[in-house]
Amino acid sequence: MTRVGLSPLAWLDSVEQQRRQAGLRRSLRTRPAVATELDLASNDYLGLSQHPAVIDGGVAALRTWGAGSTGSRLVTGNTELHEEFETAVAGFVGAETGLVFSSGYAANIGAVVALSGPGSLVVSDALSHASLVDACRLSRARVVVSAHNDVDAVEAALVGRDEERALVITESVFSTDGALAPLRRLHEVCRRHGGLLLVDEAHGLGVRGAGGRGLVHEAGLAGAPDVIVTTTMSKSLGSQGGVVLGPAAVRDHLIDAARTMIFDTGLAPRLSAPHWPRCGCSPRSPAAPGR
């Protein structure tokens, strides 16, 4: 079959038509700098993206450190602001250490892939975020997708495995339906069968737990040696970036093995500088707008 003269992108026309007919065509919407109406779509749960202390912190960091981090954190992209934030947020949620990534998406992929791999099992909730789904696909592990919040299904996967290592993945507050994960029961099952529990707190940090410390803290699992927490700074913290929280051994391993940290340009210092652990406007504090 000859294909001379056929554009290699010709297939996009038919795909676009199919999407349009199915009502699946996406479009970008431009918003104003300051919304004049109540915004129920934003992830800025506590309004910290517009908090004066957060803005002032970002401006000060911009003038000191420049617009970007200039490189991977392993080369020139690591600053004292990154490490101060890691220490502050880890202390806030009760974890031993933290490691900042350029986004929550990158944090999830880096953590899941580095903590699993060929010859291991990953058990992921059916409603896990796309970043966790992609991480499972990249892990090269055997992946079992368990029914939403079905602890018995998770246990069955752990019991029936041949692999020595197992990683169980869940969100704390699910972005799809707002359901809370049964973290204590999941942890009990993981501990009983030698599995590591990874909890994405993107929608839990700032709005669940004492002072907004998250659902893991609320469940009494903060600092547990077999629990890893990932989260984003783009929701309750009103900024951008991601962080993995857990034992020091995990942080050390991610620095060696997490490709989304090793080969990605580090988070701009100005984005880690103004968060609430540094500026004093912690979640649930009187200074935070809307609280």
Catalytic residue list: 43, 129, 171, 175, 200, 203, 235
Q: Which two tokens stand for residue 170?
A: 């869940």
Of 200, 196, 178, give the one whose Cα is nearest residue 187.
196
DSSP letter for each residue of 93-143: HT-SEEEEESSHHHHHHHHHHHT--TTEEEEEETT--HHHHHHHHHH-SEE
How many residues are given for the chain? 291
Of the candidates 232, 241, 268, 279, the residue with the CA atom closest to the CA atom of residue 45: 232
> Is residue 82 within 8 Å of 100, Cβ to Cβ?
yes
What is the distance between the alpha carbons of residues 131 and 147, in angstroms, rounded to a whole number? 18
83 burial (CB, 10 Å; 0-12 / 13-18 / 19+) is middle
Token pair for residue 145? 């997708």
Handedness of CA 152, 165, 106, 197 (dihedral sign): positive
DSSP state of 246: E
